[in-house]
Amino acid sequence: MSNLTTGKPKIVPITGAGACAQAMRQINPDVVAAFPITPSTQIVEDFSTFVANGQVDTEFVTVESEHSAMSACIGASAAGGRVMTATSSAGMAYMWELLYVAASMRQPVLMSLVNRALTGPINIHCDHSDSMGARDAGWIQLYSETNQEAYDNLVMAARIAEHPDVRLPLMVCQDGFIISHSIQTMQLEDDKAVKAFVGPHLPYHSILDTAKPVTWGALDLQDYYIEHKRGQEQGMRNALRVIQEVSDDFAKTFGRQYNLFEDYRLEDAEIVLVAINSVAGEIKEVIDELRTKGEKVGLLKIRSFRPFPYEQIGQALSNAKIVTVLDRSASFGAHGPLFTEISTAVYNYASGRPLLMGHTFGLGGRELTLRHIEHVISESRICLDKGEVGNRQGMWLNVRGDKS
């Protein structure tokens, strides 16, 4: 790939994992610590090749586990480095304790997370149980529909996470195999242009700066713990503004505009589907087809899940008559995590009161076809005509033998 990444931007066929490895190469972090796990392995494999070939200045730390990988990332970040890693599923679960440590220490570690179902039973395919399980760990979460969006999000990630008003770790999520292993044609930007956009890393209170000694990871009891957590919350709130500012600058530089969420044919939509990541592509295809038949349907695709843009989403859904949320993870005994957030946004910020319906789909990589999406929209229309959701709430889609 190296011959494709010099000079002008290149249109290249590449996997989602390969695209993120290229973004990491262009960012050229000080340290990468990682332990490969399916389906994020290619990111680490490709990047290790860049290290071996001298294409980056990165110190690549090979460790014995994901727990050690995140520990090394935190230490390197506290020492003043720009730090990145990649993982999936059980690998991130093995980092669990350290995810909270990175966020509480306000270390802007960057993670490329390839979404994969959490065990058990053991499964290597896509759902969002890994990232949704970590949604309250204090990490910024950006989601990606395509290879291009995953690459672009990662290019923007350092400027967002390292912003002095934010200083929080950030994970860029893409669907395992569906995006990570699928070859799509996308634009790979010029190395120098990416380097200029990302900018230099400015360390904040490096533990190696003996002239300005600091303490990291100290015991924090009743006297200050809640103040520190409130500081994290403020950083996350600030991230809403910073994500948009960086995205706007990205659009000026590279010509692709991103917002906190994407509204697709939403302006007059009566039926709105809400989804995350790759399934949005299939939903758009169905919407385009139904629009030719006069159906007023639209999509709201989440990009920023943490922080969650409640007010903006509530306003965007104000004209909808029914909103159907598709969760690719289960919150057992409760509504899905995306449905819960959308409900809060609609209740507090939408000027109208659309009907709300939530469905679970795609666990463990189960396919959601165009026919299934058409069925979801048809069910939404039935509920809208009746004026109530009734027993259609909380359905699990495309489940063998499910009569609920």
Query: How do the residues of the chain divide into helix, strand and coil, expressed in percent and rounded to 5?
Result: 40, 20, 40
Span of 151-155, 168-172, 250-254, 399-403 with lowest mean pLDDT: 399-403
Give the number of C-alpha atoms closer than 13 A to the C-alpha of residue 50, restricted to the C-beta side.
Answer: 28
List beta partners, residue 326.
359
- Residue 70 one-letter amino acid: M
The dihedral through the CA atoms of 375, 360, 180, 82 has a sign that is: positive
Per DSSP, the residues of 228-258 read HHHHHHHHHHHHHHHHHHHHHHHHHHHS---
pLDDT for residue 404: 60
d(CA 64, CA 370): 42
Question: Distance between CA 225 and CA 203 in Å, rounded?
Answer: 24
pLDDT (0 to 100) of residue 402: 79
CATH class of 261-396: alpha beta
Helix (H, G, I), strand (E, B) or coil at 335: coil
pLDDT of residue 2: 41
**Average pLDDT score, the chain:** 96
Separation of alpha carbons 368 and 375, rounded Å: 11
Return the number of other C-beta atoms located less than 10 Å from residue 387's C-beta. 10
Q: In what order do the strands lie in the sheet with 395-396?
A: 261-264, 297-302, 271-276, 322-327, 355-360, 395-396
Q: Taking 50 as the threshold, does the pLDDT of residue 3 lie above it?
A: no
Taking 60 as the threshold, does the pLDDT of residue 1 lie above it?
Answer: no
pLDDT of residue 7: 73
pLDDT tens by residue, 307-325: 999 999 999 999 999 999 9
How crowded is the C-beta side of 65, counted as CA atoms within 13 Å? 9
- The pLDDT confidence band at residue 60, using thresholds 50, 70 and 90, is very high
303/375 Cα distance (integer angstroms): 25
Write out the DSSP string of 109-153: -EEEEEE-PPSSS---S--SHHHHHTTTSS-EEEE-SSHHHHHHH
> For residue range 64-86, what is the model confidence (pLDDT) as tens digits?
999 999 999 999 999 999 999 99
pLDDT at 391: 84
* Collapsed DSSP state (helix, strand, coil) of residue 88: coil
**Residue 95 to residue 111: CA distance in whole angstroms:** 12
How does strand 110-115 pair with strand 83-87?
parallel
Count of beta carbons in the 10 Å neighbourhood of residue 10? 16
pLDDT tens-digit series, residues 119-134: 989 999 999 999 999 9
Each residue's pLDDT tens digit, 280-293:
999 999 999 999 99
DSSP secondary structure, 279-326, as one string: HHHHHHHHHHHHHTTT--EEEEEESEEES--HHHHHHHTTT-SEEEEE
**pLDDT band at residue 394 under the 50/70/90 scheme:** confident
DSSP lists the bridge partners of residue 140 as 170
Share of the chain above pLDDT 90, in %: 94
DSSP for 341-378 reads: HHHHHHHHH-SS--EEEEEE--GGG----HHHHHHHHH
Q: Say if 2-254 and 261-396 have the same CATH topology.
A: yes
Q: What is the pLDDT of residue 401?
A: 87
State the CB neighbour count (10 A cutoff) for residue 61: 18
Q: pLDDT digit string (tens) for 364-393?
A: 999 999 999 999 999 999 999 999 998 888
Q: Which range, of 10-14, 20-24, 394-398, averages the lowest pLDDT?
A: 394-398
Q: Map residue 86 onto helix, strand or coil.
A: strand
Query: Does the domain formed by 2-254 have CATH 2.60.260.20?
Result: no
Q: What is the pLDDT of residue 76?
A: 98
pLDDT tier, 4 (very low <50, low <70, confident <90, very high otherwise): very low
Rounded distance, CA 148 to CA 127, Å? 20
Report helix, strand or coil for 196.
helix
- Kindly list the domain boundaries of the chain, sorted by start residue: 2-254, 261-396
